[in-house]
Structure 1
Amino acid sequence: MTAKPYLSGHYTPVPDEITSTSLEVTGTVPPELSGRYLRNGHNPKPGITPSHWFKGSGMLHGVRLTDGRAEWYRNRWVRTPALDGAPLVRHDGSMDLTASVAGTHIIEHGGHLLALQEANLPWEVTPELDTVGPYDFHGRLTSAMTAHPKEDPLTGDLHFFSYSPFPPYLTYYVATPGGHIIREQVVPGAAPTLMHDFAITGTKAVFLDAPVVFDMAETSGIPYRWHDDQPARIGVMDRLGDAGRPPHITWIPIDPRAVLHVTNAYDTPDGKVVLEGPAYDRASWETSWKWWIGAPGHPLAPVTGATATRWVLDPVTGTAAEDGLDDLTTDFPTINEAYTGLPSTISYSVAFPGAGLEEFAITKLDTAAGKRLVHRPGPHRHAGEAVFVPAADAVAEDDGYLLTIVSDLKADASQLLVLDARDLTSVAEIHLPRRVPNGIHGSWIPDGTRP
């Protein structure tokens, strides 16, 4: 077995696709959980060793819940040209935006299930996870799409962006609930930085311009490196107004930080913007990168040193105030998505060993109460991103459930955990027919949602 950390341990790929029905359940699956939990992750074919964690081919894992039962589990590769080795950059130098590994995220929008990878077009799959083909928003999208779009909970519009190492570096898009692009604007002042995620508020789009910059000298296959001469900035741009009008954006300098995943952002009554997310300094970014490329001396876990951070951004003065929210090493934050772009106080994250924590865990951070809860799956067990599902009679922000797949190395098994989002206690364990590699991002697709 290769020594690459993203192809071993909890991340060891599975060699095939299977389907299993009538899954065993410990505890009680709440009957209101009627739908599909779908999760994406990197799973290269047997014999393939990608040069970077992010370059492994995408594989979807799904569990169907209905009437208190776990009806099925299935896993499928997203069958894109990249699965068979087609490159993003063709021999003539042109880009093949369909050559996606499609391994970062899966969402539903406009009646389409979309597997996402930020350097490419989305790839559509069926509810049974079979591949349909590339999706371009009715012919309007001719560039790559971020793997972290944001759906406005008030309008249903999908906000997303495309970034590139070549001008224009950053383009902002808005699509209707039916999947029709109604806004496409180049964002002025952006740099050729690695921009994995962004945020929206009720009035703003918020972009992260980190010191991780396009650099062809980087040989890992993901050509970006930390550069101290690239200032860290956060761009706050008006998201409303006429599509043909040049957008107003304020680039606000911050201390040198990189942010892979945003927790949330929202407007304040006095015109400021609050942004939260796990932040890396240079040392923690470069140490984590060693794991992502399998470099000698890499750490034991893929995330090192990232901690929950809050910025209060003032677009009028162009200044930012930064505060640390927690000292645990965390990433893959999630929230109740009904609060996307709105004031929120509760988030959930994957906690990685370090800063006094000896094993992987799921955390709940309540910034209003100043409290943190930790769910420890146990030794040799690694829980992935926890997806929030609101309860049927939800009133409070945390009324609901968390769904997360656990990789258990000692038992060579996996479960889909259902946790109470209020106190992180276990509600049910759905026993999966194989150990599922730890992955990246997923979604809950409730019944009644198209498709």
Structure 2
Amino acid sequence: MADQGVTTGTKGAHPLTGGLFAPVHEEVTAFDLPVTGRIPDALRGRYLRNGPNPLCAGDAAGRPWFAGEGMVHGVRLRDGRAAWYRNRWVRSDAVARHLGEKVLHGPRHLVDFAPNTHVQRFAGHLLALVEGGALPYELDSELDTVGPFDFHGTLPGGFAAHTVVDPASGELHAVAYCPARPSAQYLVAGVDGRVRHHVDVPVEGRPMMHDFSLTARHVLLYDLPVAFSDGSGGHGFGWDPGRPARLGVLPREGGPEEVRWLETDPCFVFHTANAHERDGVITVHLVRHDRFADERFSEGRFAAGPGGARPAHLERWTVDPAAGTVRRERLDDRPVELPRVDPRRLTADHRYAYAVHERTDPGRAGFGRGLLKYDLARGTCEEHPVPPGGDVGEGVFVPAAPGAAEDDGWVLAFAYDAGRAASDLLVIAAGDFAAGPVARVHLPVRVPVGAHGNWIPDPLYGAGV
């Protein structure tokens, strides 16, 4: 049996490499998983989530958590049952060599790294994603690595951790950055899987631009006071109090000279939920950190946890490019992160959003104390808390059917069960959120605290296994 428990990491290791952040050390395949409750018949597909999982235990003490090699965890649901669980490292060159395997063929750019942040299905390709100059890696339906992917030779540089598939056009949008370049790159890939549009937007001082926002007409760029330091190799970044905070508004088909930069209060935005516009005014829902990484990284270690020393909160920004203003409104005092919406509502007005109620207590066991559902029209919030000693990650909304109502579906998330010393896949009915899961899929192992994931419905794979 693979590592099921909670390890503390090596002596002197950073807290984000121990506890529920500690890596697992084996790849596992398990079939016909036990289930408490009933998995809805409409859930036919794979729930996949990526996250850092260092190959070597010794690596954990010397590298930041986010620099660990990517491992994708997946659960296959069909016919009301959990057919399998798999976890697989993404086979970059270094991972393949470490595991004694043959290095895979394919393109290479400036940086080769096992993407550890997100996973996205697009144009027939399942892609593991990371920012900072590396290429995506393609995976097959059983999470084995196919090889690096450069959008059929059309990607001009590295890619990004966060993407938006426009529900109207089916095109993939992203904003990529590389600490070695003084620009951010807006990229649009067509439904043929090829990059058809890219814009290099000059930015000074190597800002970290983890996420972006997209509306029907514009892309929003977050140039904020968290930047990379010289000679850090892309690992050392921190809060720069002398750096201005600004929001760039770029027309989708525009050039770099068309960016409208708007000043805002100093802050940092790791993750946005969604953006839309009406009559020239843009509304964005996002999670704002008043400050982040106040101390620069020392020897590649985090100065604070994923939420920084100061909790982050859900906000609504009203952006008026004509007036040159950004107006902020805090929507909740609870510390939150990892916001998501119904993917069918991306770039359009939306009523509901989901987020992790973040832990902020020192020495915390993991990341999330519960999942939240926001009704943005009513200004209300429901919570599904996890039991003491437990933990929960990002919640991903899955609609019940293509034409279902906005909250007619389920929220899927990995949660740690302290009683079993292993993880479950939670299936929560979005329309009855506070009632808790309608099903728990019991995994045979612990899934470490990780990053982002997606639901990949069966029609995108065909029959599969």
Shared fold (TM-score, shorter chain, > 0.5): yes
Tell me what 1:309 maps to: 315
Percent sequence identity is 40
Give the conservation status (yes or no) of the 8 Å contact 1:288–1:303: no
Counterparts of 2:219 and 2:213, CA distance in 1? 6
Q: Quick one: which amino acid aligns to residue 187 of structure 2?
A: Y
How far apart are 1:101 and its partner, in Å? 2.8
Give the conservation status (yes or no) of the 8 Å contact 2:307–2:360: no
Counterparts of 2:437 and 2:187, CA distance in 1? 39
Tell me what 1:214 maps to: 228
Tell me what 2:183 maps to: 169
Tell me what 1:75 maps to: 87
Tell me what 1:446 maps to: 457
Counterparts of 1:170 and 1:450, CA distance in 2? 33
Q: Does 1:248 align with 2:261?
A: no
Counterparts of 1:106 and 1:139, CA distance in 2? 20
Tell me what 2:14 maps to: 4
Give the conservation status (yes or no) of the 8 Å contact 1:201–1:341: yes
The superposition leaves residues 364-391 of structure 1 with CA deviations (integer Å, 9 ceiling, x where unpaired) of: 1111101011101211111100111001
Counterparts of 1:276 and 1:127, CA distance in 2? 33
How far apart are 1:165 and its partner, in Å? 3.1
Counterparts of 1:444 and 1:427, CA distance in 2? 17
CA 1:186 to 1:217, structure 2 compared with 1: closer, same or farther past 3 Å? closer
Q: TM-score, normalised by structure 1?
A: 0.90
Mapping for residues 17-56 of structure 1, pairs under 5 Å = 17-47=27-57, 48-49=59-60, 50-56=62-68
Count of aligned positions = 434
Give the conservation status (yes or no) of the 8 Å contact 1:328–1:354: no
Unmatched 5+ stretches in structure 1: 87-94
- What secondary structure is seen at the aligned counterpart in 1 of 2:459? coil
Tell me what 1:92 maps to: none
Give the conservation status (yes or no) of the 8 Å contact 1:41–1:439: yes
Tell me what 1:137 maps to: 151
Counterparts of 2:396 and 2:309, CA distance in 1? 19
Tell me what 1:156 maps to: 170
Question: CA RMSD of the aligned region, Å?
Answer: 2.6
Q: Paired residue for 1:332, among 333, 338, 347? A: 338
Counterparts of 1:435 and 1:60, CA distance in 2? 13
CA 1:118 to 1:398, structure 2 compared with 1: closer, same or farther past 3 Å? same
Counterparts of 1:361 and 1:194, CA distance in 2? 28
The superposition leaves residues 87-117 of structure 1 with CA deviations (integer Å, 9 ceiling, x where unpaired) of: xxxxxxxx95451131000110010010011
Moved over 4 A (4+): 188-191, 287-290, 298-304
How far apart are 1:144 and its partner, in Å? 1.1
The superposition leaves residues 111-148 of structure 1 with CA deviations (integer Å, 9 ceiling, x where unpaired) of: 00100110211000111000111000110113111110
The superposition leaves residues 136-161 of structure 1 with CA deviations (integer Å, 9 ceiling, x where unpaired) of: 01101131111101110011000112
Mapping for residues 9-408 of structure 1, pairs under 5 Å = 9-47=19-57, 48-49=59-60, 50-83=62-95, 96-97=109-110, 99-119=112-132, 120-188=134-202, 192-216=206-230, 222-240=235-253, 248-269=258-279, 271-282=280-291, 284-286=292-294, 293-295=301-303, 304-354=310-360, 360-392=369-401, 394-408=403-417
Counterparts of 2:284 and 2:200, CA distance in 1? 22
CA 1:430 to 1:256, structure 2 compared with 1: closer, same or farther past 3 Å? same
Q: TM-score, normalised by structure 2?
A: 0.87
CA 1:176 to 1:303, structure 2 compared with 1: closer, same or farther past 3 Å? farther
- What secondary structure is seen at the aligned counterpart in 2 of 1:293? coil
How far apart are 1:294 and its partner, in Å? 4.8
Tell me what 2:6 maps to: none
Give the conservation status (yes or no) of the 8 Å contact 1:33–1:68: yes
Unmatched 5+ stretches in structure 2: 1-8, 99-107
Counterparts of 2:461 and 2:156, CA distance in 1? 24
Give the conservation status (yes or no) of the 8 Å contact 2:114–2:137: no
How far apart are 1:248 and its partner, in Å? 1.5
How far apart are 1:20 and its partner, in Å? 0.4
Q: Does 1:419 align with 2:431?
A: no
CA 1:35 to 1:395, structure 2 compared with 1: closer, same or farther past 3 Å? closer
CA 1:256 to 1:278, structure 2 compared with 1: closer, same or farther past 3 Å? same
- What secondary structure is seen at the aligned counterpart in 2 of 1:194? coil
CA 1:443 to 1:289, structure 2 compared with 1: closer, same or farther past 3 Å? farther
The superposition leaves residues 249-308 of structure 1 with CA deviations (integer Å, 9 ceiling, x where unpaired) of: 111111001001111111023x111112111112x5438979x9355xx56977841101
Counterparts of 1:189 and 1:313, CA distance in 2? 20
Give the conservation status (yes or no) of the 8 Å contact 2:287–2:314: yes
Counterparts of 1:303 and 1:445, CA distance in 2? 35
CA 1:348 to 1:190, structure 2 compared with 1: closer, same or farther past 3 Å? farther
Worse overlay, 75-84 or 52-61: 75-84
How far apart are 1:166 and its partner, in Å? 4.2
Q: Quick one: which amino acid aligns to residue 56 of structure 2?
A: P
Give the conservation status (yes or no) of the 8 Å contact 1:64–1:70: yes
Counterparts of 2:288 and 2:78, CA distance in 1? 38
